[in-house]
Structure 1
Amino acid sequence: MDSVSQIALGSALTIATMGRRTAVWKSAFWGLVAGTLPDLDVFIDHGNALANMINHRGNSHSLLYLLLLSPLLGWCIARLQGEGAYWRRWSLAMALVLVTHPVLDWFTVYGTQLLRPFSREAYGLGSVFVIDPLYTLPLLIGVGVALCRKSFAGLRGNQVGLLLSSLYLAWSVLAQQHVSGVARASLAAQDIAAPQLLVTPTPLNTLLWRVVAMDDTHYWEGYHSVFDKNRATAWTRHERGTALQSQYAPHAPAIAQLARFADGFMKLEQEDDALYLSDLRMGSEGRYSFRFRLGSPEEIRAGRTVIAQQPLEVPVREALIELWQRIWHKPE
C-alpha cells in the first residue's frame, strides 16, 4: 500500500497496543516510524529499473526478519523514552506494526516476498488498489481522534478506525471473489478458454474491477462493476508476444525475470524498432504502470540490453471522470 496508509496503520496499531502506558503522540510517532521502515528499500539500487521493481518488497518485507527486528526496536524505543518497564509492550507494538506492513502489501497485486529467505515467491492477493481512500480514511480519523481526545473515548475512536479499515479489507476479498465468479461464467458463455485469471480493483476503489484472462498466446481484458446488472463482460483480445519471447528470452534475462515475478502476466511487443516489456497486472491496456524498453532487436541479440522504465502519462481528470462513469453505468 501507499506510504500514508502504512503510516496510518502503524500509528493506529501502536496507539491501540500501548493504550495509556505512554503519551498518545509518542505511540503515534513511533508507529509512523515503524510503519515506514520496510519501504526504505526503495532507496537501494539493484542495477536497473526492472531489478529495482522485482526486489522492492524483498528482504525488508520478510515476516521472519521483521519479527526478529521487533524486540530490538521495542527495547531501543523503551530505553530512549525512559520507559524500560514497558519494553515488552513496545516490542509487541513494533511486531504488530512491522508484520502488518507486508501483510497489508499482500492485499495488493504488486507482489510481496513474505517468506524470505526461504522463498523468493512474490505473493499478491490483489483485492485492493495500492491507494484506496476508503481504507485509509478510517485509520487517519481514528488516529486524529486519539490525538485530539486524550481519553478513553479517543482510544475507542482509534479502535473503531482499525475495525472499519479491517472490515473494508474483508469486503474487498468478498467483492473480488464475486467478480471472479462472474468473469469465469462470462468467459465460459463466450467460449473463451483462458485458464489464468487475474481480478484486481481499478484505482481508488473496490467497486469497479479489471479482469485479465490469459492463455498461452493471448490475453483478454474486461471490466465489471459490482453494480452491473448484466453479467456478460465485454472482452478485448490482445497478443502476448509469445513468439518474440521465445526469440529474445535467451538474450534478455529480464523477460524470464518479469515472467516469474508477475506469474506470467506480461507481454513483449515490438514498437518503433524497439522491444517493450509490460507487466499486465498493474494499469490497463495502453497505460501500464510498469513498461520497460529493452532496446532494439540488434542490441538485445548482442547482449547490450539497457532496461529503461517508460513514464506513465495519464490525464488524471479525464481518467477519474471515466472511472466514475463506468462504476455506475455499463456501456451498451
Structure 2
Amino acid sequence: MDPLTQGLVGATAAQSGADKDKLRPAAFTGAISAMIADLDYYIHIPSDPLFNIEIHRQFSHSFIFIPVGALIASVLLWWLLRKYLSFKELYFYSILGYATAGLLDTFTSYGTQLFWPFLDTHFAWNLISVIDPIVTFGLILFIGFAFQKKEKKYVWIAGGWLSFFLLFGWIQHQRAESAAKSLADSRGHTIEKMVVKPTIANQLLWRVNYISDDKIYTDAVRTGLISGIDIYEGEYAPRIIIEEEFSGFEGTIMYKDLLRFKNLSENFLIRHPDQPEVIGDARYSMLPTELIPLWGVKTDTTQTENHLPFLYFRDASEEVRESFMNMLLRK
C-alpha cells in the first residue's frame, strides 16, 4: 500500500505489543520499520529497467527477511530512541512493524513474494486498493488518539477498523467474481484464468480480466455497498503468446525480457492499441473497461541484444476521470 498507510499499520502492530508507557516510541518504531521495506523501490540497474519491477516486493517483503529488515530498522533508529527503549525492545517493536509490510501488500493487487527465495510466486488477494483514503483516515484518527492519550484501546480500534475493510473487501471481491463468471457464461466463454481487483481508492468498482480462447477480456463490476450489481462491459484483445510470436528471437536479451515481463504480468499480455510495438500488462488501465495498459515494454527487433525499455501510459484527463466517476457513482 502507500507509504503512509504502511507506516500506520506498522505503528498499530508495534503498539499492540507495547505497554502503555511505551506506546509512543513503539508507534514510531513500527511505522518506520514498516516503511523501510519499500526502500526496495529505489533499487535500480539503469541498463535493465525490468530489474526494479522484479525486485519490488520481493526479498524485502518476504517472511524470511523479516528478522533482517527489523535489525536494519533497529540499528538506524537506535541513536534516536535509545533514551526511551532498550535495544531488545526496539528490535521487538521493529519486528512487529516490519512483519506487516509484506502481509499488508498481499491484500492489494500488485502481488508480494512472501516465500522468496523458495518460491517466486506473487501472492495478491486483491481485497483493497493500494490507496484507500477511508482506511487511511481511520488509521490516522485512531493511532493519533492512541499516541496522544497513551490508551491502548485505540490501538485495538485501529486494528478492528483495518480488519473490517479487509473483510468487506473479501465479500465485495466474491460478489464481483460471481458476477464476472455469470457474464462469461452468458457469452459462452470458458475462463482459463481470471483476475478480479478493486479500482483505485474504493471497494465498490472492480476491474475484471479473464482469458478465454486466447483473448483477454476486461469488464467493470460495481458491487454497491450491500446489494445491487452493475456490469459495464468492456473491451477484448488477442492475448500475446511470447513463445509463438517471438520464437525467432529465442535466446536473445529481448526474448528473455519478454518472458520476464510475461511472468510479472501473469501472462495477461496485449499489444498497446495505439503503439503495436509495445507489449502491455492487460490487468491495469486507467479505466476498468479499457485495454489501454498502464505500462508495458517496447520491443525493437533491430535491437534484440538490448534490454527492453519499460514505459508508462497514464492518462488522467478530465474525460477519463469523468468516465471513471460515472461508473463508480452509478450515473
- Find the aligned partners of 2:189 and 2:211 in 1 and give their Cα distance: 10
**SS of 1:288 mapped into structure 2:** coil
Residue 115 of structure 1, CA deviation: 0.6
Maintained 8 Å contact 2:13/2:96: yes
Residue 120 of structure 1, CA deviation: 1.6
**SS of 2:207 mapped into structure 1:** strand
- Find the aligned partners of 2:229 and 2:132 in 1 and give their Cα distance: 26
Partner of 2:246: 247
Q: Percent identity?
A: 19
1:78-129 per-residue CA deviation (whole Å, 9 max, x = no partner) reads 7852456x65544332222111110111111212111112122221112211
Partner of 1:163: 160
Could you state the TM-score of these two structures normalised by the residue count of structure 1?
0.85
The question of 1:298 aligning with 2:302 is answered: yes
- Find the aligned partners of 1:149 and 1:268 in 2 and give their Cα distance: 55
Partner of 1:308: 310
CA 11–232 in structure 1, closer or farther in 2 if over 3 Å, else same? closer
- Find the aligned partners of 1:130 and 1:62 in 2 and give their Cα distance: 18
User: Which of 201, 206, 215 does residue 204 from structure 1 map onto?
Assistant: 201
- Find the aligned partners of 1:229 and 1:168 in 2 and give their Cα distance: 19
Partner of 2:131: 131
- Find the aligned partners of 1:167 and 1:123 in 2 and give their Cα distance: 21
Task: Report the residue type matching 1:63 in the other structure.
Answer: F
CA 186–231 in structure 1, closer or farther in 2 if over 3 Å, else same? farther
- Find the aligned partners of 1:247 and 1:74 in 2 and give their Cα distance: 48
Residue 311 of structure 1, CA deviation: 4.3
**SS of 1:236 mapped into structure 2:** strand
Residue 257 of structure 1, CA deviation: 0.8
- Find the aligned partners of 1:242 and 1:226 in 2 and give their Cα distance: 33
- Find the aligned partners of 2:110 and 2:88 in 1 and give their Cα distance: 33
- Find the aligned partners of 2:273 and 2:326 in 1 and give their Cα distance: 33
Maintained 8 Å contact 2:49/2:307: no
Partner of 2:29: 30
The question of 1:261 aligning with 2:260 is answered: no
Alignment of 1:118-197 (within 5 A): 118-150=118-150, 152=151, 155-197=152-194
Task: Report the residue type matching 2:183 in the other structure.
Answer: S
Residue 329 of structure 1, CA deviation: 1.8
1:200-237 per-residue CA deviation (whole Å, 9 max, x = no partner) reads 11111000001011135211110111138466652422
Structure 2: gaps (5+ residues): none
**SS of 1:221 mapped into structure 2:** strand
Alignment of 1:97-108 (within 5 A): 97-108=97-108
Residue 28 of structure 1, CA deviation: 2.6
Residue 199 of structure 1, CA deviation: 0.3
**SS of 1:18 mapped into structure 2:** coil
**SS of 1:234 mapped into structure 2:** strand
Maintained 8 Å contact 1:50/1:309: no
CA RMSD in angstroms comes to 2.8
Partner of 1:43: 42
Moved more, 90-99 or 107-116: 90-99
Alignment of 1:207-286 (within 5 A): 207-227=204-224, 229=228, 234-242=233-241, 246-247=245-246, 250=250, 251=252, 252-268=255-271, 275-283=277-285, 284=287, 285-286=290-291
CA 242–270 in structure 1, closer or farther in 2 if over 3 Å, else same? farther
Maintained 8 Å contact 1:138/1:161: yes
**SS of 1:219 mapped into structure 2:** strand
- Find the aligned partners of 1:125 and 1:254 in 2 and give their Cα distance: 26
- Find the aligned partners of 1:230 and 1:29 in 2 and give their Cα distance: 42
